[in-house]
Amino acid sequence: MSIKEKKINISSDSREVIIEANNLGVSYLSGRKDDYKSHVFNYLRNKKESASKEKEAFWPLRNVNFKGYKGEVLGIIGSNGSGKTTLCKLISGILQPDEGQLTVNGKVSALFSLGMGFNKELSGRENVYLNGMMLGIEKNKIDEYIGEICKFSGIGEFIDRPMKYYSSGMKARLGFSVAAYLEPEILILDEALNTGDAEFSQKAADKIKQLVTKAKMVLIVTHSLKYAKKNCDRLIWLDKGVIREIGNPKDVIERYLESIPVKSPKPKPKRLELAQTESEVRDTTAIKLNQISVTYEMKNEKFNALNDVSFTINEGEVVGIIGHNGAGKSTLCKLFTRILTPDQGNIVINGETTALLGYGTGFNAQLTGADNIYLNGMLLGIPKKDVNNNYANIVEFSELGDFINKPVKEYSSGMKARLGFSIAATLKPDIFIIDEALSTGDMAFKQKASEKIQEMMEQAKAVIIVSHSMGFVEKVCTRAIWMERGKVRFDGNSKEAVQLYREEVKRKKNKN
């Protein structure tokens, strides 16, 4: 039974109110509530602000009014920077409102970033306890559910290995499992289902359906309109800190889509709606792997992240790398970018590689977006003069406006995604590697980023895209490599690869 099928057939006024916001507002004031690091950075940079600027308040949320009812899944949608994460932080008690009132009837467990509280040196099992206690769960309750949490996460023997060897998807699996299995009263998931393979995403969605029958309510922030329409009872559409609409998911999504501006057609449009990407594959080799193996030593035992992997990528190819979390995809990317060297075999790379392995991973939270353009640019290997020449284009493409001069600590995850992609997209690399490039961001920016990727494909020798979005791989990639347990399961036509992978996911689901 889907969440929408179990809707309560009584009027909203007679339902128990779990969350109520009345004229809710929160403001950020320049220079206010800055931490020690911020003051040090501002002093070292000789930052001078006028008195008027110091008194200028920015309201990420204002005049917000809504009620959340017992037994419902309430979704929140909106573009990056619209105030979604700020609202979640208010409900979870991380922030206090500057005006209005907020009533929350229940204990809140919030998952803002999957695995955010994990310690990379501890094992997954140890981090279950650490993360659980950070969510306010008592140790004896974690003891009761530890077996089910480990099984649900599906990370197998990795549960007793250090977190530093986990992929982002494996952290996502474990983080969700901790939050979902410890029976929260009010569960907040801020972009919690953005990272993860198709199989786990479905498991997580099914688990949320079970949760809502026990919990008081579930609040989900998502950019996936398809997910919101299918699984949420109601939607709140936030836009620039105010609520544009609350109501039936289908109606709210329809109005939200109408609000996204339609750009005038370009002379040579390269939109994702076009048919399969056509590319002239040349005989020249861009990347060649010959019997590559990568082994991690963990607590006197060895784990093969990659085992006897061989393939060749020629110039002109757009290659998608697919597979479940922990299959070896990110390890491959680290080989391509020379972050890792193989323990066995050899790898040939003909050209300079530029990789976007994680949006904003090099950002310093205390510095402004403008400063971080230079910092992140240099971490990506861009000469300072090239950053200078492209600075205006980066800012314009990111669409961050005045936020470019605010500290990154005030950015939402989507805003970091915009800026991270905008920096990397200014390059003209020989080989461009994108690891889950479109997992974060609103629909309008995803479209824009997709078009930019299409342009890059014409400039680069080869493009390698790691993605859990099978539709994206089918449309954009000319070829796909399906990884499983560190080995190549299939290498060939992207549509055929996606079909086989989907069939495998379905088979495993039916088996369970």
Residues whose CB is less than 8 angstroms from the CB of residue 158 and which lie 6 or more positions away in sequence, other chains included? 124, 165, 166, 170, 326
DSSP sequence for 428-491? --SEEEEESTTSSS-HHHHHHHHHHHHHHHHHSSEEEEE-S-HHHHHHH-SEEEEEETTEEEEE
Low-confidence ranges of the chain (pLDDT < 50): 1-12, 30-34, 36, 41, 44-45, 47-54, 265-275, 359-360
Place of tokens 């976007």: 356
Token readout for 221 is 């922030």
pLDDT tens-place string over residues 35-94: 545 555 455 445 444 444 445 677 889 999 999 999 899 999 988 778 888 898 899 888
Distance CA 392, CA 1 (A): 51
Distances (CA, A) of 493 to 320, 408, 460, 474: 10, 41, 20, 9
Distance CA 429, CA 426 (A): 9
Distance CA 139, CA 357 (A): 35
Distance CA 404, CA 385 (A): 19
Domains of the chain: 26-58 (no CATH), 66-259 (3.40.50.300), 285-511 (3.40.50.300)
- Give the CA angle between residues 469, 473, 477 to the nearest 5°: 160
Q: Distance from first CA to last CA of the chain, Å, rounded?
A: 17
What is the pLDDT at residue 127? Answer: 87
What is the pLDDT at residue 381? Answer: 66
Say whether pTM exceeds 0.75: no
Exposure on the CB side of residue 430, measured as CA atoms within 13 A: 14
Helix (H, G, I), strand (E, B) or coil at 221: strand
What is the pLDDT at residue 100? Answer: 94
Distances (CA, A) of 368 to 38, 43, 374: 10, 14, 10
